[in-house]
Structure 1
Amino acid sequence: MNRIIIDVYVLQTVPPSNLNRDDTGSPKTAVYGGVRRARVSSQAWKRAVRLAFAELLDSSVLGERTKRVGESLAARIRTLDPSLSNEDASALAAEVFAASGLAKAEKKKGEAKDVESGYLLFLSHRQLDNIAAAALESKRAGTALDKKRFKELANTEHSVDIAMFGRMVADMADINVDAACQVAHAISVHAVDNEFDYFTAVDDRKKDAAETGAGMIGTIEFNSSTLYRYATVNVNALHETLGDAAATRAAVEAFLIAFARSVPTGKQNTFAHRTLPDAVVVRVRDTQPINMVGAFESAIQETESAGRVKLAAAALTDHVLAVESAYGERPVGSWVTQVGEQTAVLTDLGKAVTLGELVTGVGEQIASALGQPA
């Protein structure tokens, strides 16, 4: 099977917003090309994609990342054997994770307590179900679920989100999963200066006209930007982890939809910032992933005749064609979903299609490459 790399390039404009905050509550930024840019971390957007998966894929092919592993496993044990009390299910779950070495069994006032791992533990729903079933089987046989068996169950039937974004287990490195997907930090194509919104809130029970002033005052920091976003998926690595061509295609299709339509939710009630991309460009390659961020090393400066989106679309088109020409890169497939005349130049990179047609086209190409019927 030839190498299959999917590169996704997105231009997206967001209004005044604070999608992703730093430790002081300010919108994250980065210096690139000598100027400060708005930035949304890859972690923030991957989280948004994972949440979007829940609406696109069945729960059975997804996972959960939590420290509250005992609570999750105990619930599954109780589902399989309702005759067990909550305390007995929690005790059994604690024994399992204690045997695995990932959490310590604890007791509080003589009663079993749902154990927690020392860090976020990422397990697929199927893995948790299988571990719960094995725990009950061991209990009935009067034996204990050992670490070796736990590792076997935790290292098979990986979920789509684990396969996409990887898993690191510090205390059990041999069940780590390499991520098939890499997501870049989104940055604005232009320079930004964060601004402050000074706000006041009035006390609804303040009726006396003589009692003036606000119930509270404060400030919220924000910026607005046209973002360049990039992600890449190694289909071969994804297929190796999932072990099934149909599942691999479904995972990629779900990712494309989720990456295009998801937005981090930081301060969304304050700013209602949810937008859809101005353009989505997908290039399928058989060589290596290529981030085209160099198109914006020189910050975009809008003019009277052209705004940031139009100039950004032109810069991205020119840079993609220049890089691919210089290095002899010939994508094996290309699709463009774009909105309006501002991004029409991007059709030089591929035929303009709807997002649905783009997703179907990529899916069919993956099916063909993996030897599956389209």
Structure 2
Amino acid sequence: MTTFVQFHLLTTYPLSNPNRDDQGRPKQALIGGSPRLRISSQSLKRAVRDSSYFAQDLAGNIGTRTQRLATVLAEELTQQGVTEAEAKRIAIEIGTVFSKLEKGSTKATTLAFVSPDEWALARALAAKAVAGEDFPKDKELKQAMLRRADGAVDIAMFGRMLADSPAYNREAAVQLAHAFTTHRAQVQDDWFSAVDDLKTRDEDAGAGHLGENGFGSGIYYLYACVNVDLLVENLAGDKALAAKGIDALARALATATPKGKQNSHAHHPRAGYIRVERGPAQPRDLSGAFHKAVAPDLGGSIDALTDMADKIDRAYGISFETRMMDVPKGHGTLAEIAAFAAETASGLCADA
């Protein structure tokens, strides 16, 4: 029986542009016939991985998403006294295990998610090559470096795909939806100018620069679902590390934000409401609460979310163990929410 932990968050963003589209404007969506502002799941995952909770609490258990593994490896070898040509040859042999490389380059054509264990194995293999040992061939080379499970929490959560080595892909244990405003919201445009500090009074009075900036504000609904059993499996059965990861995830979801235009808008929002559910029942998001736009009010959004949860659970006979943090009402704390979610992985709750 699979156990799931689900997070439902409502977060109020001030005037900001945290996640831009190809025009530099806030991303948008049309939901239920109403325009909404949107934050992509990809940018939210990045914000979570960049959060202090992941960087500090999970130090040593975080992967690296990069095209430059071979480039870094070649630089390390040259610093150790290996000739540039030999360092490049060794780095290319190793780098191709993770991704195809650009012709004649150590840079990969695609990003690869590399765990700390795999980095260590790549460096060890490079050291053996420097010492004169022959590289293993084909499957043996992949077996020498790639792992199906290790201690990289973010890879275990968000998965990875290695196109040329599908046996070492990892299915994501965490699903993260796009966040969207619970109410109607549209992009606003701001015209701005900048002054040239060295312009003299004798020159024209015009600005040194003219520009436009798009921004918006609103209450965003965010949904995330953790397959706890798969997370533990992806971490080679380490329940304690899985629990630590879920704790960090809960805290990061409540506080982390994409940093687009942050210097211009100083957006540092924190979730005003969090509903966490755990249990073996099939997951369900509560986005239907906002298919019809509600009033731009946190209290109204909380009521709509709670009402939808109650109606779905009543109709389908679902029963989740639930905890809530309601900032306006002064109920619950983030520490309690994180501990409740983490217990599911550590095996402290009856459902685990």
Normalising by the residue count of structure 1, what TM-score does the alignment of the two structures yield? 0.86
Alpha-carbon distance, 1:158 to partner: 5.0
Aligned partner (choices 233, 256, 266) of residue 272 of structure 1 = 266
Q: Distance in 2 between matches of 1:105 and 1:271?
A: 39
Match runs of 1:307-326 below 5 Å? 308-326=297-315
Match runs of 1:71-86 below 5 Å? 71-74=71-74, 82-84=80-82
SS state at 1:278 partner: strand
Match runs of 1:222-371 below 5 Å? 222-243=215-236, 244-302=238-296, 308-331=297-320, 333-341=321-329, 352-368=331-347
Alpha-carbon distance, 1:76 to partner: 5.8
Greater mean deviation of Cα atoms: 130-139 or 12-21: 130-139
Contact 1:158 1:242 survives alignment (8 Å): yes
Q: Distance in 1 between matches of 2:107 and 2:180?
A: 36
Contact 1:74 1:93 survives alignment (8 Å): yes
Match runs of 1:101-112 below 5 Å? 102-104=99-101
Relative to 1, partners in 2 of residues 1:173 and 1:85: Cα closer, same or farther, differing over 3 Å?
A: same
Partner of 1:43: 42
Alpha-carbon distance, 1:23 to partner: 0.8
Greater mean deviation of Cα atoms: 153-162 or 228-237: 153-162
Could you say which structure has the greater relative contact order, defined with CA pairs below 8 angstroms and 6 or more residues apart?
2
Alpha-carbon distance, 1:209 to partner: 5.7
- In structure 2, list runs of 5 or more residues that go unmatched: none
- In structure 1, list runs of 5 or more residues that go unmatched: 108-112, 303-307, 345-351
Alpha-carbon distance, 1:138 to partner: 4.4
SS state at 1:219 partner: strand
Relative to 1, partners in 2 of residues 1:246 and 1:74: Cα closer, same or farther, differing over 3 Å?
A: farther
Q: For residue 233 of structure 1, what is the amino acid of its counterpart? A: V
Deviations 1:158-181, CA, capped at 9 Å, x for gaps = 511111111012222221111000
Partner of 1:118: 109
Relative to 1, partners in 2 of residues 1:11 and 1:171: Cα closer, same or farther, differing over 3 Å?
A: same
Alpha-carbon distance, 1:87 to partner: 5.3
Contact 1:292 1:316 survives alignment (8 Å): yes
Deviations 1:259-314, CA, capped at 9 Å, x for gaps = 11100001111111111111111101212221000111110125xxxxx1010011
Alpha-carbon distance, 1:212 to partner: 0.5
Partner of 1:148: 139
Normalising by the residue count of structure 2, what TM-score does the alignment of the two structures yield? 0.91
Partner of 1:349: none
Q: For residue 61 of structure 1, what is the amino acid of its counterpart? A: N
Contact 2:100 2:110 survives alignment (8 Å): no
Alpha-carbon distance, 1:200 to partner: 0.6
Q: Distance in 2 between matches of 1:54 and 1:231?
A: 17
Q: Distance in 2 between matches of 1:50 and 1:173?
A: 24
Identity %, equivalent residues: 33
CA RMSD of aligned residues (A): 2.3
Greater mean deviation of Cα atoms: 293-302 or 129-138: 129-138
Contact 1:193 1:223 survives alignment (8 Å): yes
